[in-house]
Protein backbone atom coordinates (compact mmCIF):
# COMPACT_ATOMS: atom_id res chain seq x y z
CA UNK A 1 0.00 0.00 0.00
CA UNK A 2 2.97 2.33 -0.42
CA UNK A 3 2.63 5.42 -2.61
CA UNK A 4 3.08 4.81 -6.35
CA UNK A 5 5.74 6.75 -8.26
CA UNK A 6 7.55 8.11 -5.23
CA UNK A 7 10.02 9.94 -7.46
CA UNK A 8 7.25 12.17 -8.83
CA UNK A 9 6.95 13.84 -5.45
CA UNK A 10 9.06 16.94 -5.01
CA UNK A 11 9.15 20.01 -2.80
CA UNK A 12 8.06 20.95 0.67
CA UNK A 13 4.67 22.29 1.72
CA UNK A 14 3.76 24.18 4.87
CA UNK A 15 0.17 24.60 6.03
CA UNK A 16 -0.35 28.17 7.23
CA UNK A 17 -2.69 28.35 10.18
CA UNK A 18 -4.32 31.74 10.64
CA UNK A 19 -6.89 33.36 12.87
CA UNK A 20 -8.64 36.49 11.72
CA UNK A 21 -6.01 36.93 9.04
CA UNK A 22 -3.03 36.65 11.39
CA UNK A 23 -0.66 33.76 10.71
CA UNK A 24 0.09 31.47 13.65
CA UNK A 25 3.64 31.99 14.81
CA UNK A 26 4.38 28.27 14.43
CA UNK A 27 3.48 28.43 10.73
CA UNK A 28 6.13 31.10 10.22
CA UNK A 29 8.62 29.05 12.25
CA UNK A 30 7.93 26.14 9.90
CA UNK A 31 8.38 28.26 6.78
CA UNK A 32 11.74 29.32 8.10
CA UNK A 33 12.77 25.76 9.02
CA UNK A 34 11.18 24.40 5.84
CA UNK A 35 13.33 26.79 3.81
CA UNK A 36 16.49 25.35 5.39
CA UNK A 37 15.35 21.75 4.82
CA UNK A 38 14.22 22.40 1.25
CA UNK A 39 17.56 24.02 0.41
CA UNK A 40 19.29 20.78 1.47
CA UNK A 41 17.08 18.96 -1.04
CA UNK A 42 17.30 21.63 -3.71
CA UNK A 43 13.52 21.88 -3.55
CA UNK A 44 10.85 24.59 -3.47
CA UNK A 45 8.79 25.67 -0.47
CA UNK A 46 5.06 26.11 -0.99
CA UNK A 47 2.82 27.70 1.63
CA UNK A 48 -0.85 26.73 1.65
CA UNK A 49 -2.97 29.58 2.99
CA UNK A 50 -6.67 28.99 3.59
CA UNK A 51 -9.34 31.28 5.02
CA UNK A 52 -11.50 34.29 4.24
CA UNK A 53 -9.86 37.67 3.54
CA UNK A 54 -6.43 36.22 4.17
CA UNK A 55 -4.66 37.21 0.96
CA UNK A 56 -3.09 40.17 2.74
CA UNK A 57 -0.57 37.98 4.53
CA UNK A 58 0.56 36.02 1.45
CA UNK A 59 3.47 38.35 0.69
CA UNK A 60 4.75 38.06 4.26
CA UNK A 61 4.89 34.26 3.80
CA UNK A 62 7.29 34.76 0.92
CA UNK A 63 9.46 36.98 3.11
CA UNK A 64 9.62 34.12 5.62
CA UNK A 65 10.84 31.60 3.05
CA UNK A 66 8.06 30.47 0.69
CA UNK A 67 8.71 30.30 -3.06
CA UNK A 68 5.02 30.04 -3.79
CA UNK A 69 1.86 30.67 -1.83
CA UNK A 70 -1.31 28.80 -2.77
CA UNK A 71 -4.21 30.92 -1.57
CA UNK A 72 -7.70 29.57 -1.03
CA UNK A 73 -9.69 32.65 -0.02
CA UNK A 74 -13.39 31.90 0.33
CA UNK A 75 -16.22 32.47 2.83
CA UNK A 76 -16.66 28.71 3.27
CA UNK A 77 -13.14 28.58 4.76
CA UNK A 78 -13.70 31.46 7.20
CA UNK A 79 -13.51 29.21 10.26
CA UNK A 80 -11.22 26.23 10.40
CA UNK A 81 -13.26 23.11 9.79
CA UNK A 82 -11.67 19.68 9.44
CA UNK A 83 -13.64 18.58 6.39
CA UNK A 84 -13.35 21.81 4.40
CA UNK A 85 -9.63 22.27 5.04
CA UNK A 86 -8.93 18.56 4.41
CA UNK A 87 -10.73 18.68 1.06
CA UNK A 88 -8.83 21.78 -0.05
CA UNK A 89 -5.40 20.54 1.04
CA UNK A 90 -5.87 17.02 -0.34
CA UNK A 91 -6.80 18.44 -3.75
CA UNK A 92 -3.64 20.56 -3.77
CA UNK A 93 -1.42 17.71 -2.53
CA UNK A 94 -2.69 15.36 -5.23
CA UNK A 95 -2.05 18.05 -7.83
CA UNK A 96 1.28 19.42 -6.58
CA UNK A 97 2.70 16.15 -5.18
CA UNK A 98 4.95 17.59 -2.44
CA UNK A 99 7.36 15.11 -0.84
CA UNK A 100 7.04 16.76 2.58
CA UNK A 101 4.10 18.44 4.35
CA UNK A 102 4.70 20.34 7.60
CA UNK A 103 1.95 21.40 10.00
CA UNK A 104 2.17 23.14 13.40
CA UNK A 105 1.13 20.93 16.32
CA UNK A 106 -1.52 23.35 17.57
CA UNK A 107 -5.09 22.32 18.46
CA UNK A 108 -6.05 22.89 14.82
CA UNK A 109 -2.92 21.24 13.41
CA UNK A 110 -3.41 18.18 15.59
CA UNK A 111 -7.01 17.93 14.35
CA UNK A 112 -6.10 18.41 10.69
CA UNK A 113 -2.84 16.48 10.19
CA UNK A 114 -4.03 12.98 11.16
CA UNK A 115 -7.20 13.42 9.08
CA UNK A 116 -5.07 14.36 6.07
CA UNK A 117 -2.68 11.47 6.63
CA UNK A 118 -5.54 8.97 6.67
CA UNK A 119 -7.11 10.47 3.51
CA UNK A 120 -3.74 10.47 1.73
CA UNK A 121 -2.78 7.08 3.19
CA UNK A 122 0.57 8.35 4.39
CA UNK A 123 2.49 8.54 7.65
CA UNK A 124 2.35 11.49 10.00
CA UNK A 125 4.78 11.88 12.89
CA UNK A 126 3.23 13.98 15.62
CA UNK A 127 4.69 16.65 17.90
CA UNK A 128 8.29 16.71 16.72
CA UNK A 129 10.86 18.97 18.29
CA UNK A 130 13.60 18.74 15.66
CA UNK A 131 13.77 18.03 11.94
CA UNK A 132 16.57 16.85 9.73
CA UNK A 133 16.99 15.64 6.17
CA UNK A 134 18.55 12.47 4.81
CA UNK A 135 19.54 14.03 1.50
CA UNK A 136 20.53 10.74 -0.11
CA UNK A 137 17.18 9.06 0.53
CA UNK A 138 15.27 12.38 0.36
CA UNK A 139 13.68 11.58 3.73
CA UNK A 140 12.69 13.98 6.44
CA UNK A 141 13.85 12.75 9.82
CA UNK A 142 11.25 13.65 12.42
CA UNK A 143 12.85 13.77 15.85
CA UNK A 144 10.73 13.61 19.00
CA UNK A 145 11.23 12.93 22.68
CA UNK A 146 9.45 9.92 24.13
CA UNK A 147 7.37 10.20 27.21
CA UNK A 148 8.86 9.20 30.49
CA UNK A 149 12.50 8.76 29.64
CA UNK A 150 15.38 10.70 28.25
CA UNK A 151 14.75 8.94 24.96
CA UNK A 152 14.64 10.47 21.54
CA UNK A 153 13.42 8.75 18.41
CA UNK A 154 14.19 9.47 14.76
CA UNK A 155 11.09 8.63 12.75
CA UNK A 156 10.94 8.32 8.97
CA UNK A 157 8.25 7.62 6.41
CA UNK A 158 10.18 5.93 3.58
CA UNK A 159 7.52 4.62 1.21
CA UNK A 160 4.58 7.01 1.46
CA UNK A 161 4.18 10.58 0.27
CA UNK A 162 3.92 13.25 1.31
CA UNK A 163 5.95 12.62 4.45
CA UNK A 164 3.89 14.42 7.07
CA UNK A 165 5.18 15.90 10.31
CA UNK A 166 3.60 18.09 12.97
CA UNK A 167 5.99 20.30 14.93
CA UNK A 168 5.45 21.82 18.33
CA UNK A 169 5.11 25.59 18.50
CA UNK A 170 8.19 27.36 19.78
CA UNK A 171 10.81 24.68 19.13
CA UNK A 172 12.08 26.23 15.92
CA UNK A 173 13.74 29.59 15.93
CA UNK A 174 11.93 32.34 14.06
CA UNK A 175 14.43 34.42 12.14
CA UNK A 176 13.76 37.86 10.75
CA UNK A 177 11.93 38.07 7.44
CA UNK A 178 13.83 38.78 4.26
CA UNK A 179 11.87 41.50 2.51
CA UNK A 180 13.94 41.12 -0.62
CA UNK A 181 12.62 37.60 -1.31
CA UNK A 182 10.45 37.11 -4.37
CA UNK A 183 7.79 34.50 -4.90
CA UNK A 184 4.65 33.56 -6.71
CA UNK A 185 1.07 33.97 -5.45
CA UNK A 186 -1.38 31.40 -6.79
CA UNK A 187 -5.09 31.91 -6.19
CA UNK A 188 -7.23 28.81 -6.36
CA UNK A 189 -11.00 28.37 -6.53
CA UNK A 190 -12.82 26.38 -3.91
CA UNK A 191 -15.57 24.19 -5.28
CA UNK A 192 -17.23 23.27 -2.00
CA UNK A 193 -20.82 24.09 -1.08
CA UNK A 194 -21.86 25.09 2.42
CA UNK A 195 -24.90 22.81 2.07
CA UNK A 196 -22.56 19.79 1.76
CA UNK A 197 -20.60 20.47 4.95
CA UNK A 198 -21.40 18.26 7.91
CA UNK A 199 -19.96 20.41 10.71
CA UNK A 200 -21.09 23.94 11.58
CA UNK A 201 -19.27 26.40 13.83
CA UNK A 202 -21.98 28.02 15.96
CA UNK A 203 -19.81 30.22 18.13
CA UNK A 204 -16.16 31.10 18.76
CA UNK A 205 -15.11 32.56 22.10
CA UNK A 206 -11.61 33.91 22.64
CA UNK A 207 -10.32 34.30 26.14
CA UNK A 208 -9.87 38.01 26.76
CA UNK A 209 -6.71 37.85 28.80
CA UNK A 210 -4.19 40.45 27.66
CA UNK A 211 -1.26 38.71 29.30
CA UNK A 212 1.62 37.68 27.09
CA UNK A 213 1.38 33.96 26.50
CA UNK A 214 4.00 31.79 28.09
CA UNK A 215 5.34 30.74 24.68
CA UNK A 216 6.04 34.31 23.72
CA UNK A 217 7.37 35.44 27.10
CA UNK A 218 10.77 37.09 27.08
CA UNK A 219 11.58 35.85 30.58
CA UNK A 220 10.23 32.91 32.53
CA UNK A 221 10.54 32.00 36.19
CA UNK A 222 9.73 28.30 36.55
CA UNK A 223 8.61 26.48 39.67
CA UNK A 224 9.55 22.88 40.28
CA UNK A 225 9.31 20.40 43.10
CA UNK A 226 11.45 22.67 45.27
CA UNK A 227 8.54 25.10 45.52
CA UNK A 228 6.22 22.98 47.55
CA UNK A 229 3.65 25.31 49.04
CA UNK A 230 1.40 28.24 48.23
CA UNK A 231 3.68 30.77 50.00
CA UNK A 232 6.57 29.61 47.85
CA UNK A 233 4.44 30.36 44.84
CA UNK A 234 3.54 33.85 45.98
CA UNK A 235 7.26 34.50 46.45
CA UNK A 236 8.03 33.35 42.89
CA UNK A 237 5.27 35.59 41.56
CA UNK A 238 6.88 38.55 43.30
CA UNK A 239 10.24 37.65 41.74
CA UNK A 240 8.62 37.25 38.32
CA UNK A 241 6.86 40.61 38.62
CA UNK A 242 10.10 42.36 39.54
CA UNK A 243 11.84 40.78 36.55
CA UNK A 244 8.92 41.34 34.17
CA UNK A 245 8.76 37.57 33.73
CA UNK A 246 5.97 35.03 33.33
CA UNK A 247 5.51 32.14 35.74
CA UNK A 248 5.90 28.64 34.34
CA UNK A 249 5.99 25.30 36.04
CA UNK A 250 6.79 21.60 35.92
CA UNK A 251 3.87 19.20 36.23
CA UNK A 252 3.95 18.70 40.01
CA UNK A 253 2.70 22.15 41.08
CA UNK A 254 -0.10 21.78 38.50
CA UNK A 255 -1.09 18.40 39.87
CA UNK A 256 -1.05 19.90 43.38
CA UNK A 257 -3.49 22.57 42.19
CA UNK A 258 -1.30 25.59 42.95
CA UNK A 259 -1.20 26.82 39.38
CA UNK A 260 -3.26 26.30 36.25
CA UNK A 261 -2.47 23.72 33.59
CA UNK A 262 -1.70 26.35 30.94
CA UNK A 263 1.47 27.32 32.82
CA UNK A 264 2.99 23.87 32.41
CA UNK A 265 6.20 23.66 30.41
CA UNK A 266 7.45 20.44 28.84
CA UNK A 267 6.37 17.34 26.99
CA UNK A 268 2.77 17.58 28.14
CA UNK A 269 2.79 21.37 28.26
CA UNK A 270 4.20 24.35 26.44
CA UNK A 271 7.49 24.80 24.65
CA UNK A 272 9.26 28.05 25.42
CA UNK A 273 12.43 29.78 24.26
CA UNK A 274 12.72 32.94 26.36
CA UNK A 275 15.85 35.08 26.64
CA UNK A 276 15.98 34.24 30.35
CA UNK A 277 14.80 31.12 32.16
CA UNK A 278 15.19 30.78 35.93
CA UNK A 279 14.39 27.31 37.24
CA UNK A 280 13.50 27.39 40.96
CA UNK A 281 13.67 23.94 42.49
CA UNK A 282 13.42 22.43 39.01
CA UNK A 283 15.28 19.13 38.64
CA UNK A 284 15.49 19.31 34.85
CA UNK A 285 14.02 15.91 33.92
CA UNK A 286 13.25 15.49 30.22
CA UNK A 287 9.49 15.83 30.81
CA UNK A 288 10.12 19.49 31.65
CA UNK A 289 13.42 20.23 29.92
CA UNK A 290 12.09 19.16 26.50
CA UNK A 291 10.00 22.33 26.70
CA UNK A 292 12.67 24.81 27.79
CA UNK A 293 16.04 23.56 26.56
CA UNK A 294 16.14 26.23 23.85
CA UNK A 295 16.01 29.09 26.34
CA UNK A 296 18.87 31.51 25.72
CA UNK A 297 20.15 31.91 29.27
CA UNK A 298 19.31 29.20 31.81
CA UNK A 299 19.71 29.84 35.53
CA UNK A 300 19.15 26.95 37.94
CA UNK A 301 18.51 27.11 41.67
CA UNK A 302 18.36 23.72 43.34
CA UNK A 303 19.50 22.13 46.60
CA UNK A 304 20.59 18.95 44.86
CA UNK A 305 23.98 19.42 43.16
CA UNK A 306 23.30 16.26 41.10
CA UNK A 307 20.05 17.60 39.60
CA UNK A 308 19.94 17.17 35.80
CA UNK A 309 19.39 20.87 35.28
CA UNK A 310 22.98 21.63 36.27
CA UNK A 311 24.08 19.66 33.20
CA UNK A 312 22.67 22.25 30.84
CA UNK A 313 22.24 25.46 32.85
CA UNK A 314 24.49 28.45 32.18
CA UNK A 315 24.47 29.63 35.80
CA UNK A 316 23.79 27.47 38.82
CA UNK A 317 23.10 28.20 42.47
CA UNK A 318 23.18 25.18 44.73
CA UNK A 319 20.85 26.26 47.47
CA UNK A 320 17.37 26.41 48.90
CA UNK A 321 14.81 28.29 46.83
CA UNK A 322 13.13 29.55 50.00
CA UNK A 323 16.36 31.37 50.93
CA UNK A 324 17.71 32.36 47.49
CA UNK A 325 14.51 33.77 46.03
CA UNK A 326 13.90 36.25 48.91
CA UNK A 327 17.51 37.38 48.56
CA UNK A 328 16.95 37.95 44.83
CA UNK A 329 13.76 39.90 45.56
CA UNK A 330 15.58 42.03 48.13
CA UNK A 331 18.42 42.72 45.71
CA UNK A 332 16.08 43.60 42.83
CA UNK A 333 14.10 45.97 45.06
CA UNK A 334 17.25 47.70 46.23
CA UNK A 335 18.36 48.30 42.65
CA UNK A 336 14.92 49.64 41.74
CA UNK A 337 15.11 52.03 44.70
CA UNK A 338 18.39 53.39 43.43
CA UNK A 339 17.08 54.21 39.97
CA UNK B 1 -27.80 6.27 21.66
CA UNK B 2 -25.30 3.47 20.97
CA UNK B 3 -21.73 4.45 21.75
CA UNK B 4 -18.39 2.84 21.02
CA UNK B 5 -15.51 3.95 23.24
CA UNK B 6 -11.98 3.35 21.95
CA UNK B 7 -9.54 2.73 24.75
CA UNK B 8 -5.88 1.84 25.10
CA UNK B 9 -3.79 0.08 27.66
CA UNK B 10 -0.66 2.11 28.41
CA UNK B 11 2.46 1.31 30.44
CA UNK B 12 1.98 2.04 34.12
CA UNK B 13 5.41 3.40 34.82
CA UNK B 14 7.74 5.63 32.95
CA UNK B 15 9.94 2.66 32.16
CA UNK B 16 9.10 1.73 28.60
CA UNK B 17 11.06 -1.06 26.95
CA UNK B 18 12.27 -0.93 23.38
CA UNK B 19 12.81 -3.63 20.83
CA UNK B 20 16.14 -2.64 19.27
CA UNK B 21 15.40 -4.70 16.12
CA UNK B 22 12.14 -3.02 15.15
CA UNK B 23 12.47 0.19 17.15
CA UNK B 24 8.96 -0.25 18.53
CA UNK B 25 7.71 -0.18 22.11
CA UNK B 26 7.75 -3.40 24.08
CA UNK B 27 4.53 -3.19 26.01
CA UNK B 28 4.92 -6.54 27.73
CA UNK B 29 7.81 -5.19 29.75
CA UNK B 30 5.71 -3.35 32.30
CA UNK B 31 2.34 -3.51 33.92
CA UNK B 32 -0.43 -1.82 31.98
CA UNK B 33 -3.18 0.55 33.02
CA UNK B 34 -6.19 2.00 31.29
CA UNK B 35 -5.06 5.23 29.61
CA UNK B 36 -6.19 8.02 32.00
CA UNK B 37 -7.78 10.15 29.25
CA UNK B 38 -9.82 7.16 28.08
CA UNK B 39 -11.51 7.03 31.47
CA UNK B 40 -12.98 10.45 30.68
CA UNK B 41 -14.30 9.07 27.39
CA UNK B 42 -15.88 6.10 29.20
CA UNK B 43 -17.37 8.42 31.83
CA UNK B 44 -18.81 10.64 29.09
CA UNK B 45 -20.41 7.56 27.48
CA UNK B 46 -21.88 6.43 30.80
CA UNK B 47 -23.41 9.85 31.44
CA UNK B 48 -24.90 9.96 27.94
CA UNK B 49 -26.38 6.49 28.47
CA UNK B 50 -27.95 7.63 31.75
CA UNK B 51 -29.75 10.40 29.87
CA UNK B 52 -30.46 8.85 26.50
CA UNK B 53 -30.23 5.08 26.98
CA UNK B 54 -28.41 2.77 24.58
CA UNK B 55 -25.50 0.39 24.57
CA UNK B 56 -21.83 1.11 25.32
CA UNK B 57 -19.17 -1.01 23.64
CA UNK B 58 -15.54 -0.58 24.67
CA UNK B 59 -12.96 -1.57 22.08
CA UNK B 60 -9.19 -1.81 22.24
CA UNK B 61 -6.30 -3.17 20.24
CA UNK B 62 -3.31 -4.72 21.96
CA UNK B 63 -1.75 -7.87 23.34
CA UNK B 64 -3.99 -10.28 25.34
CA UNK B 65 -3.27 -8.49 28.63
CA UNK B 66 -4.92 -5.33 27.21
CA UNK B 67 -8.08 -7.24 28.09
CA UNK B 68 -7.52 -5.95 31.63
CA UNK B 69 -8.13 -2.37 30.46
CA UNK B 70 -11.38 -3.55 28.85
CA UNK B 71 -12.37 -5.31 32.10
CA UNK B 72 -11.89 -1.98 33.86
CA UNK B 73 -14.17 -0.33 31.28
CA UNK B 74 -16.74 -3.06 31.93
CA UNK B 75 -16.30 -2.49 35.66
CA UNK B 76 -17.04 1.21 35.15
CA UNK B 77 -20.24 0.23 33.38
CA UNK B 78 -19.64 -0.51 29.70
CA UNK B 79 -21.99 -3.18 28.34
CA UNK B 80 -19.67 -4.98 25.92
CA UNK B 81 -15.95 -5.24 25.27
CA UNK B 82 -14.01 -6.18 22.15
CA UNK B 83 -10.26 -6.73 21.99
CA UNK B 84 -8.45 -6.72 18.67
CA UNK B 85 -5.55 -9.01 19.38
CA UNK B 86 -3.37 -10.87 16.93
CA UNK B 87 0.38 -11.17 16.50
CA UNK B 88 -0.09 -9.64 13.04
CA UNK B 89 -1.24 -6.35 14.61
CA UNK B 90 2.10 -5.96 16.39
CA UNK B 91 4.20 -2.91 15.57
CA UNK B 92 1.24 -0.92 14.24
CA UNK B 93 1.66 2.86 14.01
CA UNK B 94 -1.32 5.18 14.43
CA UNK B 95 -2.57 4.78 10.83
CA UNK B 96 -2.37 1.00 10.91
CA UNK B 97 -4.08 0.97 14.34
CA UNK B 98 -6.84 3.23 13.02
CA UNK B 99 -7.27 0.96 10.01
CA UNK B 100 -7.75 -2.14 12.20
CA UNK B 101 -10.19 -0.22 14.43
CA UNK B 102 -12.11 0.98 11.35
CA UNK B 103 -12.58 -2.62 10.20
CA UNK B 104 -13.92 -3.55 13.63
CA UNK B 105 -16.27 -0.54 13.69
CA UNK B 106 -17.62 -1.53 10.28
CA UNK B 107 -18.32 -4.97 11.76
CA UNK B 108 -20.13 -3.46 14.75
CA UNK B 109 -22.33 -1.54 12.28
CA UNK B 110 -24.74 0.07 14.76
CA UNK B 111 -23.43 3.09 16.62
CA UNK B 112 -24.34 6.76 16.92
CA UNK B 113 -21.14 8.04 18.50
CA UNK B 114 -17.52 6.96 18.80
CA UNK B 115 -15.73 8.46 21.79
CA UNK B 116 -11.96 8.52 22.27
CA UNK B 117 -9.77 10.00 24.97
CA UNK B 118 -7.93 13.15 23.94
CA UNK B 119 -4.63 11.30 23.58
CA UNK B 120 -2.75 8.36 25.07
CA UNK B 121 -0.28 8.95 27.87
CA UNK B 122 2.47 6.98 26.11
CA UNK B 123 2.41 7.98 22.44
CA UNK B 124 0.58 11.30 23.01
CA UNK B 125 -0.01 11.77 19.29
CA UNK B 126 -3.81 12.30 19.43
CA UNK B 127 -3.93 10.83 15.91
CA UNK B 128 -6.02 7.66 16.13
CA UNK B 129 -9.31 9.53 16.69
CA UNK B 130 -9.12 11.74 13.58
CA UNK B 131 -7.64 8.94 11.46
CA UNK B 132 -10.42 6.56 12.49
CA UNK B 133 -13.04 9.22 11.71
CA UNK B 134 -11.56 9.67 8.23
CA UNK B 135 -11.41 5.93 7.51
CA UNK B 136 -15.10 5.67 8.48
CA UNK B 137 -15.96 8.89 6.64
CA UNK B 138 -17.42 10.43 9.81
CA UNK B 139 -17.28 14.01 11.06
CA UNK B 140 -14.78 14.47 13.89
CA UNK B 141 -15.22 16.79 16.85
CA UNK B 142 -11.95 16.94 18.76
CA UNK B 143 -10.97 18.23 22.21
CA UNK B 144 -14.50 18.31 23.57
CA UNK B 145 -15.00 19.89 27.00
CA UNK B 146 -18.75 19.31 26.85
CA UNK B 147 -21.16 17.20 24.77
CA UNK B 148 -24.79 18.21 24.27
CA UNK B 149 -27.17 15.87 22.47
CA UNK B 150 -30.29 17.07 20.69
CA UNK B 151 -32.73 14.81 18.89
CA UNK B 152 -30.76 14.55 15.67
CA UNK B 153 -27.59 16.50 16.26
CA UNK B 154 -24.68 16.72 18.65
CA UNK B 155 -22.82 19.83 19.82
CA UNK B 156 -19.52 20.06 21.55
CA UNK B 157 -17.56 22.78 23.25
CA UNK B 158 -14.14 22.47 21.59
CA UNK B 159 -11.10 23.56 23.58
CA UNK B 160 -8.60 25.76 21.72
CA UNK B 161 -5.38 27.44 22.86
CA UNK B 162 -7.06 30.82 23.24
CA UNK B 163 -10.65 29.94 24.04
CA UNK B 164 -13.29 27.57 22.73
CA UNK B 165 -15.80 27.00 19.92
CA UNK B 166 -19.22 25.41 19.73
CA UNK B 167 -19.38 22.87 16.90
CA UNK B 168 -22.46 21.06 15.70
CA UNK B 169 -22.86 17.98 13.54
CA UNK B 170 -25.23 15.10 12.85
CA UNK B 171 -24.92 11.43 13.83
CA UNK B 172 -22.90 9.30 13.60
CA UNK B 173 -19.81 11.24 14.65
CA UNK B 174 -16.50 10.74 16.43
CA UNK B 175 -15.66 12.88 19.47
CA UNK B 176 -12.39 13.10 21.40
CA UNK B 177 -12.83 13.97 25.05
CA UNK B 178 -10.79 16.45 27.11
CA UNK B 179 -9.90 15.66 30.68
CA UNK B 180 -11.90 18.54 32.13
CA UNK B 181 -15.16 17.20 30.72
CA UNK B 182 -15.82 15.06 33.76
CA UNK B 183 -14.46 13.24 36.78
CA UNK B 184 -14.35 9.53 35.88
CA UNK B 185 -16.06 7.27 38.39
CA UNK B 186 -13.95 4.76 40.24
CA UNK B 187 -15.58 1.36 39.82
CA UNK B 188 -16.24 -0.47 43.08
CA UNK B 189 -14.13 -3.59 43.52
CA UNK B 190 -17.10 -5.94 43.23
CA UNK B 191 -18.08 -4.53 39.85
CA UNK B 192 -14.54 -5.13 38.56
CA UNK B 193 -14.69 -8.66 40.02
CA UNK B 194 -18.01 -9.10 38.27
CA UNK B 195 -16.45 -7.85 35.02
CA UNK B 196 -13.94 -10.67 35.30
CA UNK B 197 -16.42 -13.35 36.44
CA UNK B 198 -19.55 -12.64 34.47
CA UNK B 199 -18.70 -10.49 31.47
CA UNK B 200 -16.85 -11.52 28.33
CA UNK B 201 -14.20 -9.73 26.36
CA UNK B 202 -14.72 -10.70 22.76
CA UNK B 203 -11.37 -11.25 21.01
CA UNK B 204 -11.10 -10.56 17.28
CA UNK B 205 -8.03 -11.40 15.24
CA UNK B 206 -7.02 -10.43 11.71
CA UNK B 207 -9.15 -13.32 10.41
CA UNK B 208 -12.29 -11.86 12.00
CA UNK B 209 -11.77 -8.40 10.52
CA UNK B 210 -11.09 -9.10 6.87
CA UNK B 211 -9.73 -6.04 5.09
CA UNK B 212 -6.36 -5.54 3.45
CA UNK B 213 -3.60 -7.53 5.20
CA UNK B 214 -1.00 -5.17 3.75
CA UNK B 215 -2.38 -2.36 5.92
CA UNK B 216 -2.11 -4.34 9.19
CA UNK B 217 0.65 -4.24 11.83
CA UNK B 218 4.26 -3.22 11.26
CA UNK B 219 4.18 -3.75 7.50
CA UNK B 220 1.04 -1.65 7.23
CA UNK B 221 2.66 1.25 9.09
CA UNK B 222 3.98 4.12 6.95
CA UNK B 223 6.11 5.51 9.80
CA UNK B 224 9.15 3.68 11.10
CA UNK B 225 11.49 4.38 13.99
CA UNK B 226 14.94 4.55 12.50
CA UNK B 227 16.83 5.15 15.68
CA UNK B 228 16.06 5.43 19.39
CA UNK B 229 18.69 7.01 21.59
CA UNK B 230 19.35 8.93 24.75
CA UNK B 231 19.87 12.57 24.23
CA UNK B 232 22.61 14.17 26.22
CA UNK B 233 21.67 17.76 26.69
CA UNK B 234 24.73 19.80 27.46
CA UNK B 235 24.95 23.42 26.50
CA UNK B 236 28.46 23.96 27.74
CA UNK B 237 30.16 24.86 30.96
CA UNK B 238 28.08 25.97 33.89
CA UNK B 239 29.17 28.80 36.16
CA UNK B 240 28.32 28.06 39.76
CA UNK B 241 27.60 30.94 42.09
CA UNK B 242 28.55 30.03 45.63
CA UNK B 243 28.24 31.52 49.09
CA UNK B 244 25.56 33.12 51.26
CA UNK B 245 22.13 33.82 49.66
CA UNK B 246 22.69 37.61 49.72
CA UNK B 247 26.06 37.25 47.99
CA UNK B 248 24.87 34.91 45.20
CA UNK B 249 21.73 37.03 44.72
CA UNK B 250 23.89 40.12 44.22
CA UNK B 251 26.12 38.27 41.76
CA UNK B 252 23.24 36.87 39.74
CA UNK B 253 21.41 40.20 39.51
CA UNK B 254 24.66 41.83 38.38
CA UNK B 255 25.06 39.17 35.66
CA UNK B 256 21.48 39.72 34.47
CA UNK B 257 22.05 43.46 34.48
CA UNK B 258 25.23 43.10 32.43
CA UNK B 259 23.37 40.95 29.93
CA UNK B 260 20.61 43.56 29.70
CA UNK B 261 18.04 41.15 31.13
CA UNK B 262 16.59 43.40 33.81
Smallest Cβ–Cβ distance between A126 and the set B127, B230, B246 belongs to B127
Q: Determine the residue of chain B that is closest to A122 in CA distance.
A: B222
Query: What confidence tens digit (pLDDT) does each residue in B204-227 have?
Result: 999 999 999 999 999 999 999 998
Question: What pLDDT score was predicted for residue A253?
Answer: 83
Range 218-257 of A in CB contact (< 8 A) with B: 219, 243
pTM of the model as a whole = 0.85
| Chain B: closest CA distance from residue A332 (Å) | 7
Smallest Cβ–Cβ distance between B240 and the set A107, A160, A316 belongs to A316
Q: In what order do the strands lie in the sheet with A163-167?
A: A124-128, A163-167, A100-104, A12-16, A45-51, A68-73, A184-187
CB pair distance less than 8 Å for A114 and B93: no
Smallest Cβ–Cβ distance between A147 and the set B122, B168, B170 belongs to B122
* Contact A22/B at CB under 8 A: no
| Chain A: closest CA distance from residue B64 (Å) | 23
Question: What pLDDT score was predicted for residue B45?
Answer: 98
CB pair distance less than 8 Å for A153 and B23: yes
* Contact A316/B at CB under 8 A: yes
Domains of chain A: 6-196 (3.40.50.620), 214-333 (3.40.50.1220)
Question: What pLDDT score was predicted for residue A211?
Answer: 57
User: What is the separation, in whole angstroms, between the first and last Cα of chain B?
Assistant: 59
Beta bridge partners of A291: none
* Contact A130/B at CB under 8 A: no
CB pair distance less than 8 Å for A124 and B245: no
Q: Which residues of chain B have pLDDT under 70?
A: 13-30, 231-236
Query: Could you tell me if residue B147 is left (phi over 0), alpha (psi between -120 and 50 degrees) or otherwise beta?
Result: beta
Smallest Cβ–Cβ distance between B16 and the set A148, A154, A331 belongs to A148
Number of alpha carbons in the 13 Å side-chain half-sphere of residue B88: 15
Query: Is-contact A224 A287, C-beta < 8 A?
Result: no
Chain B residues within 8 A of A115 when measuring between CB atoms: 130-131, 133-134, 140
Query: Is-contact B206 B86, C-beta < 8 A?
Result: yes
CB pair distance less than 8 Å for B163 and A205: yes
Q: Determine the residue of chain B that is closest to A308 in CA distance.
A: B233
Q: What is the DSSP letter of A326?
A: H
> Which class would CATH give B3-220?
alpha beta
The complex scores an ipTM of 0.88
Domain layout of chain B by residue ranges: 3-220
CB pair distance less than 8 Å for A275 and B261: yes
- How many angstroms from the chain centroid is the CA of residue A33? 12
Query: What confidence tens digit (pLDDT) does each residue in A236-283 have?
Result: 999 999 999 999 999 888 877 788 888 999 888 888 889 999 999 999
Lowest mean pLDDT among A8-22, A199-213, A232-246: A199-213
Chain B residues within 8 A of A293 when measuring between CB atoms: 233
Amino acid sequence: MSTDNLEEYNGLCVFIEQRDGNPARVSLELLDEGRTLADKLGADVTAILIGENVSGIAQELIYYGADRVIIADDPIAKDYRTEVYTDIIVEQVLKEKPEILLIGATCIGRDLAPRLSARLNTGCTADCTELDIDTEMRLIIAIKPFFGRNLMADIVCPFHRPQMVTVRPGVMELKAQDRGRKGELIYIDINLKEADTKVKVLETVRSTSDAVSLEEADKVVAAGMGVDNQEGFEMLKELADLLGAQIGTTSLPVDAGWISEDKKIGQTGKTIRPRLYIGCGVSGAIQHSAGMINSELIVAINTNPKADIFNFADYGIIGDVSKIVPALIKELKSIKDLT
Amino acid sequence: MDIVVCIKQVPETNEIGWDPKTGTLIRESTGGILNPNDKNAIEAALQLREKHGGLITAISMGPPQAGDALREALGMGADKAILLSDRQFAGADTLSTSYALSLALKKIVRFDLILCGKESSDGMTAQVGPQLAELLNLPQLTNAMEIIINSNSVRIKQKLEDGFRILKTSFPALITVEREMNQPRIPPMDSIMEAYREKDVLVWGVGNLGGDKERIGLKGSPTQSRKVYTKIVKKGEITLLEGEPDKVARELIQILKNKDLL
